[in-house]
Chain A
Amino acid sequence: MPAYSEILLDHFHHPRNHGELAGANAVGDSSNDSCGDLMRLFLRIEGDTIKEATFMTLGCAAAIATGSILTEMIVGRPVAAALAITNEQVATALGGMPPGKVHCSVLAEQALRSAVNAFERRAKVGRNLKKRP
């Protein structure tokens, strides 16, 4: 069993912002095919800012804690600033990750990227629709 930090265990036992987000306008999934963990991130983006974020995870304590702390780190931030958050920063915020668990923090980074990509695709489609005569 990996040795988890107090912060990580707190986020696992008391995850913040979990569940589906009513009014989300961006949803992204990420998965780790080798270990089987899955994460889904829900965002409500207004203008350039992430106003709300929730997550769902099928995975171990590290994967759940990662989703939890990521939502705290990105709410209120501009999308570009959120995207600049690295998995190392996520791991550091959780008080460090045991060596075998680094891939869990990558899961969060990928879910965020996937959600933002989905949002931007939709925004582009929206702009294109408006352009139509």
Chain B
Amino acid sequence: MTAAPHFIYMDHAATTPVLPEVADMVRAVTLEHWGNASSVHGFGQQARKLVEEARVKVAALIGARPEEIVFTSGATESNNTVIKGAAEALKAHGERIVITAIEHPCVMEAARTMGKRGWHVTHVKVDGRATVDLDHLRRSLAEKTALVSVMLANNEVGTIEPVAEAARLAKERGAAVHTDATQAVGRIPVDVNALGVDYLSLSAHKFHGPKGVGALFVRRGARLTPLLHGGEQEAGKRSGTLNVPGIAGLGVAAELARRDLDARATAVRALRDRLEAGITARIPHCLLNGHPVERLPNHLNMSFEFVEGEAMLLSLDMHGVVCSTGSACSAGSLDPSHVLVAMGCAPARAHSSLRFSLGLANTAADVDTVIEILAGVVQRLRRMSPTYADFQRKRGMEAAGAGV
């Protein structure tokens, strides 16, 4: 397994450690098979063979055909390619893109760019658990739409979206469908046919592959204007010399993810549930953000009333616990997480949120340590919080008023 870090890493939604089998492949390919996969000579064709082997493995992970896999530099490129390129190729269907209000910034910003180019962009609402409002999606499709993009699992709160239902609605209206499955692939079963999507984005480093490599599933027959033009690699869908070591590493990560998917999900879900139960029992005034059930097995996003996320995060970091927050203060902006805002969370709740995303190396002992440390951190910060002091004073007065 991976080298044990000197801290407890619970930020796997940000990135995951590269597995030794993956690193071995990347190193071997880098040093021994450095040929250009587009070269006709035998040395180049060795590299080509590695790429095609990886393509089969990535396709198998998501139930696709190998020829439907396009290698990219990661999810940002895959998502930009679809939002800009598929939409462009499909504009005869109507210059309208429908996305959700909780997409990752790389979908949001790509869509905003299309908006500047004169396209109409609709953001479909979500409910308080971050589940996409299918009625709103249906209404949004009243006008002719080229492309619908609904993420498979949200990166902040982990809610798993009803993509198959969304795809059905979109198909009824003749729109093409994309899903950003970056957080889902390798964590839950993903099948492009069960989902009924035309395009799907994934990224290697979210499931123990290398950074800087990902893939885009483009269903056979689905249209796409490339983002990158050049040497016509990847059947003309993505030009540029292939990142053979990264792609081979992604192949290994995909193979291991497919083999171990159930075992990983079961183990990490048990730890996540232990963390959630422990925090809820130990720390008063905390709230779950996201769907209680339809959620990635490794994901836990909670708000801790009367304290702020970045202060918690830095305190936890000092104690060797690594996680993430939706607080504006952490991003250095004044706006809290657009996902929590779209869910209807009050700014204070978004401000006080923490995201724990667990992974393979975490243990039950880690979880118990995190609960202990977090309880101490929240208590320390609440002792400094004027709103907590006010809350306690009010509660004291109510108790006195009740004639206790």
Q: Contact residues of A with B, CB < 8 Å?
A: 1-2, 9, 12-13, 15, 18-20, 29, 34-40, 56-64, 98-101, 103
Kindly report which residue of chain A lies nearest to residue B348, judged by CB atoms: A36
- If the complex has contacts A12-B314, A36-B328, are A56 and B384 also in contact, measured as CB distance less than 8 A? yes
Contacts of B347 in A (CB 8 A): 36
Contact call B310/A60, Cβ cutoff below 8 A: yes
Contacts of A60 in B (CB 8 A): 308-311, 327, 329-330
List the A side residues contacting B328 at CB < 8 Å: 35-36
A56-B386 contact in complex given A12-B314, A13-B318, A35-B351, C-beta closer than 8 Å:
yes
* B387 contacts partner chain A, Cβ-Cβ < 8 Å: yes
Please judge, given known A-B contacts A56-B384, A58-B385, whether A35 and B332 are in contact too, CB under 8 Å.
no
Q: Evaluate contact between B315 and A64: CB separation under 8 angstroms.
A: no
**For A1, what are the chain B residues with a Cβ–Cβ distance below 8 Å?**
310, 313, 330, 332
* Chain B, interface residues (CB within 8 Å), range: 20 to 34
Tell me the nearest residue of chain A to B351, going by C-beta. Answer: A36
Interface hits, B296-319 → A, CB 8 Å: 306-311, 313-315, 318
B334 proximal to A (CB < 8 A): yes
A13, B315: Cβ atoms under 8 Å? yes
The 8 closest A-B pairs by CB, nearest first: A100-B332, A60-B329, A40-B386, A60-B310, A56-B386, A34-B334, A58-B385, A36-B351
Instruction: Please indicate the chain A residues that have their CB under 8 angstroms from the CB of B308 in the complex.
Output: 36-37, 58-60, 63
A61 to B315, CA, bound (A): 9
Residues of A within 8 A of B313 (CB): 1
For residue A98, which residues in chain B have a CB less than 8 angstroms away from its CB? 332
Do the beta carbons of B329 and A38 come within 8 Å of each other? no
Quote the shortest CB–CB distance from A42 to chain B (angstroms).
10
Is there an interface contact between A15 and B384, defined as CB atoms closer than 8 Å? Answer: yes
Per the bound structure, the CA–CA distance linking A15 and B347 in Å amounts to: 26
